[in-house]
Chain A
């Protein structure tokens, strides 16, 4: 397994170079000119201002020259400077990624824990009203548009009932904890500030529920189907014949086998959750990498677009690798 892991890690830079190259040339292939975003509307016809901006952002160089400069800088850890924020892209990403990771992590915990529990409950109540209810929940969770659920939850629980925290990562007039990881829940705990931790946690609830819903629906359905299938397996009959109680059979054999495929779904979903957080982040004013990516695309912020693609590539490659390793650890039949 070590050899396999090292091999996968060794090939990663090549894959990332490919991702960066494709992202670079694809984003530059659009006919629009990023100067339209760099220069204000008022000055789009001002030759002096346009010329100065063109020169300043290196847009007067050929595409190949720009690419070689970019790759050269990248090898030194420099992802360039964002046309839009005017900050180094690496700094932008490092400030936004923890926000999205924190949100995605909570969404993942909600989806996995609730998904497995509810999937098992549904299977154990196969054909009953509870099963029907949970299957409906799974269907609704998977098919309801995220933005609609987000707006609805905000309206009901924040604006109307006032029992949930509103948009943003912290309440107004609350300062963030000292930066350690960039995840407010973790950093507030590290700072020993429990009220701040509670505040950060309360702000995670609604967005992470919204983010978790589609995955939750998938996991419920998957676990339910797997549990039902495992229950009719030979080894389950054998276990019962040996005198194990139904709950022992369920906990020790059925559930364990039923949740193995969940690892694959979770592995694939980590990347999608992180890179697909746009809608949730926009509605909940969550300053993460999703909104950064959208704004970068809108303004043709080439360095930011390429930087986001690079980070996305790393996330997908690492999560796929971790999934494969986890699979091999849990299921001895899988050999790496």
Chain B
């Protein structure tokens, strides 16, 4: 016992000292907590703008990337040959000062702006364009389809690029407005492990370098990227264009939760909140320190039907049954339930506002009409399983959407069971074409509607021809080929015809074309939704 007492004293003192130190630390912490957090200096003063969004960056190598956040990054850092305007996607010069196509739209010539330089001051030359396009194709990464159909890329001189395609492609000028086709400083990239060779998919080693560095001719350069935290861009001091960057620094903070985005916007911790949910709209509009606007987008969520899936009910082979499903969706209720009514119905896979969408008839909820079609097809007690990923995209929660659809289909005599899966499990089945009925989303890559036929139609090589398990619709194959030989009104008419063909296929049933809240601090102007950039940083400005 005596031994214990002797030992206990120093230990007890040490314990008191430890506790004392810890208590002091706690007191200090409490002091820090009680003192108001460091007041955010106005972004206008510092030239630093902070955007809050749920980041979905897949990579910062522009030729491997494919995501909404990548669109912002690529456009800011890697200037493209041409640019599309925010409002209508009209073509504007960027690295290419002038451009022209041959008569049959198989040869596209770009004349580079002699003033264009990369961020290291070296000139943007035709060899860089050739190298970038070839790498984009040969990497076989996610955005490699932008180069589909390109036969050769030639650089006859330092300022001229000639692209030839295997078949007419009047959409090509639109394609090269997408940030994924941004031009990379080939010398710098090659030095750091990049290659454009045929075997680039196996031999290119530059992806990790691109996560920490950039080599573009855009307004900004990459300063740092911390996955799950933030992406920091700095002004490109060598920017060659007349429109100099509006900010010294652009920070895109990863704020996954929409309500946290609002809180941070209200507290001045971010200047722009990109993904607010519509249930907070009253709060946003009622806050005098904020500026907000609700605008339409080209994004949409759709139901995709795969009659060829192994477990698909035989009834789905019948077009009338698929048409009945279209009529059995109460679109207005779904739009109310998912985006508080801030969305539109959409006729076909061509989003509202894109070339060819005008004049196509938007669907209406018609349970009686659905019943009649099912009866005509000799189908009764139709039972379907909807398998979908459990996430929210463009404000649309897929579970909420399907619960609403389930109710509306019930009135048409269709029994829908819901099978929500996590994204990877869903993606595995979707990629394998195993889902008779699912929901997916789509945002445009570039301002040309041809992308919708190349992805959603039943034309040869279209993605959904594979997913749906249907046979090729040769009329659509010919229609797409024909459209790509055309320009102007003739092409618009062909696009519209193809849109109607896709409606008649009844494979893709667009459900909601959501709007978006553009919310920012009141000292920010020019907040926007851009067709290929998601948000165009060139238009954003501080007013103070």
Contacts and interface: CB of A to CB of B under 8 A. Distances in A.
B32 A173 contact: no
Contact of B211 (A86, A114, A174, A283): A86
Q: Main SS of chain B's interface residues?
A: helix
B427 A173 contact: no
A154 B226 CA distance: 24
A44 B33 contact: no
A52 B22 contact: no
A85 B227 CA distance: 7
Contacts of B431: 33, 35-36, 39, 44-45, 50
B35 interface: yes
Contacts of B424: 32-34, 36-37, 298-300
A101 B141 CA distance: 37
Interface stretch (B182-190, B255-263, B373-381, B471-479): B255-263
A55 interface: yes
A106 B29 contact: yes
A78 interface: no
Contacts of A127: none
Interface residues of A, number: 81
B59 A86 contact: yes
Contacts of A42: 66, 142, 145, 455, 463
Interface string A253-277: 1001001000000000000000000
A204 interface: yes
Contact of B427 (A41, A84, A253, A285): A41
A48 B140 contact: yes
Contact of A171 (B43, B269, B441): B269
Interface in A42-90: 42-46, 48-52, 55-56, 84-88
Contacts of B425: 31-32, 36
A159 B266 contact: yes
B50 interface: yes
Contacts of A95: 226
Given A49-B144, A86-B208, A291-B228, A171 B40 contact: yes
A217 interface: no
A256 B142 contact: no
A199 interface: yes
Interface string B73-85: 0000000000000
B254 A332 contact: no
Contact of B201 (A56, A84, A259): A56
A289 to B, nearest CB: 11
Given A165-B37, A195-B38, A252-B9, A295 B228 contact: yes
B433 interface: yes
B253 A172 contact: yes
A40 B58 contact: yes
Interface string A304-336: 000000000000000000000000001010000
B12 A256 contact: yes
B208 A283 contact: no
B46 interface: yes
A11 interface: no
A139 interface: no
A292 interface: yes
Contact of B467 (A45, A106, A195): A45
A52 B199 CA distance: 10
Given A92-B227, A298-B424, 18 more contacts: A37-B423, A39-B431, A40-B66, A42-B455, A42-B463, A86-B208, A96-B228, A106-B29, A109-B26, A155-B263, A159-B267, A163-B33, A166-B264, A167-B264, A172-B50, A173-B41, A208-B29, A292-B228
17 contacts: A31-B428, A36-B423, A37-B424, A42-B463, A44-B427, A50-B431, A56-B202, A85-B227, A87-B211, A96-B228, A109-B22, A113-B19, A173-B46, A174-B38, A201-B33, A205-B32, A285-B229
Interface of A: 31-37, 39-46, 48-52, 55-56, 84-88, 92, 95-96, 106, 109-110, 112-114, 116-117, 154-155, 158-159, 162-168, 171-174, 195, 198-199, 201-206, 208, 235, 251-253, 256, 259, 282-283, 285, 287, 291-292, 295, 298-300, 330, 332
Top 6 nearest A-B pairs (CB, nearest first) are: A36-B427, A44-B431, A52-B140, A205-B33, A165-B37, A201-B32
